[in-house]
Structure 1
């Protein structure tokens, strides 16, 4: 598969607007009506996602198929529809079971194949939290497996964790997903603006962003794995960085957040035995990324800090000066969210300042959105 073609140069604001490219506006008559998804269909229940009309219609159809014990509840509040789990689905395990069965069946039926079809399916569970900005308190993978095997439907402990679901399907249900990014770099002590960063090229066989440049280390946070533990895992899998190096030298430096809506090239509607099957829908994503830096210490054995491909997701690494990285970003050669991580690095390190960047405030605003969550 071919890699990207350089585009005409963009401003840095245009770069971040490419990634954070959607806002929620329930009062815009021209906007697609997004329906809040709550744990229960009442206003006191926490909002966990936003649903497109096609998904809401399919959930109504699911209830007609299981009329004896429907999984979904629909209610209107001040003329606005809301969707929630049925009252009998009161525990994280019960919700997880419903979502697992539903998403696997939709995959097998060929629904939304551009999002959850066999080629897109990740077979990886992501956590969903009551408060998307709250604690990551999902049980460990071992505890979740034991709960599933024991069919333990004990009441939830009141934590932030609500349930888990297939990673690919998170886009269909408009939930917030989480990831880790780390910039591995070198800088000379006597030259403050001498930063050089390790940049990987994504494998040209990857389903998403093939051949684009990326952050030194990046990956999702699966359900049951902590934020820093996810970074340790991804650092070895993607960059061959040893665990002791990451634990000793990686530093948490903040977060970025953005809403990325990708429009597929085509929208195909086919008629099947069970009615309309809509393929090629928009792929939406509320994204929050935890950001880390790892600087090669002066005088250290640099060979231990050189990232190298280990799995089939990365083709190669280059050590590039920051100026060269910025030029490639402006020409559209970097994965969209990676560009935000690098711009955040530049702000924190003083390479991007309000004196030399007229769009400084707007750039920062786009990199630290709250997804309009207060109006979900």
Structure 2
């Protein structure tokens, strides 16, 4: 996360370097051992957050030790934090907090109180608060279902609970978004052009950086494609029918990102392409104040600005994925091709979260 406008780098970044800026974290070798608890100020140590202490309970997040220390001060009956640390250590909800409705209530009260009392103000202070709920799933790679008011865990699907968007990094949960690349011309042609927005100077994160044509988070309860339609209307003044008729799903990217405050933001981005039909007038227009302007840039201009490091990091990765899919980046002209491909589709070492 960055709150400063971009400054071009002194020498061009490689495509692999761009991917590494976004996919910049791996769990340390001592993850899961008791020696990670020696210093609560160690921002490189994390412990798993599970739904319960029962064996096999799914991991839903990764907590830094200072967050664990703050949870330890919460009233009894909401959290279980074993003492002393032991092998297989994990933080979980109390056994009584065992349904989506109850988890939602606990997290709502906790996050709003931390906001109001100044805990982690750079992450969830009043200026950072988004008033938008993000879903958390039992299986981060599973179905996006939704049961916010359900008061039973029996027979439920993948939905576990939801929480304030700004707080997700504090708890290291997997988040989800949509990104769409809008282009004019033939996608595989060197003459293809891209509609590139500049983020507003007033954005809470990454102000004035370059972005993908349309991008945004997927809020709780909203299907992936409907999230795209909503963002197109809000960010680019695009009619819903035009988006529904021309946007094409093209896969995902996923990356393990640690922000500048050393909190984890593992993310999945659902990607779409939208080619403007030939001889169709098109001009995206800022609508909700999140975009400063849109510019139609050539392929070479986009590549140059990417390598200057002035695109928001995950947006550069989405564009690199576009270049791979449409033949602008090939194994014959890119020596790091295989590492780029594999790092664009990571699993956050999820199998290690509860090892």
Once the two structures are superposed, the pairs formed by residues 188-337 of structure 1 within 5 Å of their partners are 188=186, 192-264=189-261, 282-299=262-279, 301-303=280-282, 306-337=283-314
Q: Indicate if the aligned counterparts of 1:256 and 1:290 stay in contact, CA closer than 8 A.
A: yes
Using a 3 Å threshold, how does the CA distance of structure 1 residues 375 and 122 change in structure 2: closer, same or farther?
same
Q: Indicate if the aligned counterparts of 1:187 and 1:193 stay in contact, CA closer than 8 A.
A: no
Map of 1:338 onto structure 2: 315
The 1-side partners of 2:339 and 2:186 are apart by 31
Matched, 1:71 2:50: no
Map of 2:62 onto structure 1: 50
Q: CA deviation at 1:335?
A: 0.6
Q: How many residues end up aligned between the 2 structures?
A: 340
Q: CA deviation at 1:89?
A: 1.1
Q: Indicate if the aligned counterparts of 1:41 and 1:74 stay in contact, CA closer than 8 A.
A: no
Q: Indicate if the aligned counterparts of 1:16 and 1:363 stay in contact, CA closer than 8 A.
A: yes
Range with bigger deviation, 4-13 or 93-102: 4-13
Q: Indicate if the aligned counterparts of 1:42 and 1:82 stay in contact, CA closer than 8 A.
A: no
Map of 1:17 onto structure 2: 20
Question: Tell me, what secondary structure is at the counterpart of 1:302?
Answer: coil
Q: CA deviation at 1:90?
A: 1.3
The 2-side partners of 1:193 and 1:42 are apart by 55
The 1-side partners of 2:162 and 2:120 are apart by 20
Matched, 1:98 2:100: no
TM-score, structure 1 as length reference: 0.86
Q: CA deviation at 1:316?
A: 0.6
TM-score, structure 2 as length reference: 0.91
Per-residue CA deviation, residues 32-65 of structure 1 (Å, 9 max, x unaligned), is 3211100002331011011010111111111xxx
Per-residue CA deviation, residues 83-136 of structure 1 (Å, 9 max, x unaligned), is 111111111000000000000001111000000000000011100000000000
The 1-side partners of 2:29 and 2:133 are apart by 30
Range with bigger deviation, 226-235 or 199-208: 199-208
Map of 2:8 onto structure 1: 6
Moved over 6 A (4+): 28-31
Per-residue CA deviation, residues 150-194 of structure 1 (Å, 9 max, x unaligned), is xx63445420000010000000000000000000001149x8322
Map of 2:178 onto structure 1: 180
Counterpart of 1:374 (choices 322, 335, 351) is 351
Q: CA deviation at 1:2?
A: 7.2
Question: Tell me, what secondary structure is at the counterpart of 1:185?
Answer: strand
Question: Tell me, what secondary structure is at the counterpart of 1:225?
Answer: coil
Question: Tell me, what secondary structure is at the counterpart of 1:182?
Answer: strand
Map of 1:355 onto structure 2: 332
Range with bigger deviation, 351-360 or 22-31: 22-31
The 1-side partners of 2:300 and 2:131 are apart by 38
The 1-side partners of 2:143 and 2:271 are apart by 16
- Structure 1: state its 5+ residue gaps: 265-281
The 2-side partners of 1:156 and 1:120 are apart by 36
Q: Indicate if the aligned counterparts of 1:2 and 1:204 stay in contact, CA closer than 8 A.
A: no
- Structure 2: state its 5+ residue gaps: 37-41
Map of 1:59 onto structure 2: 71
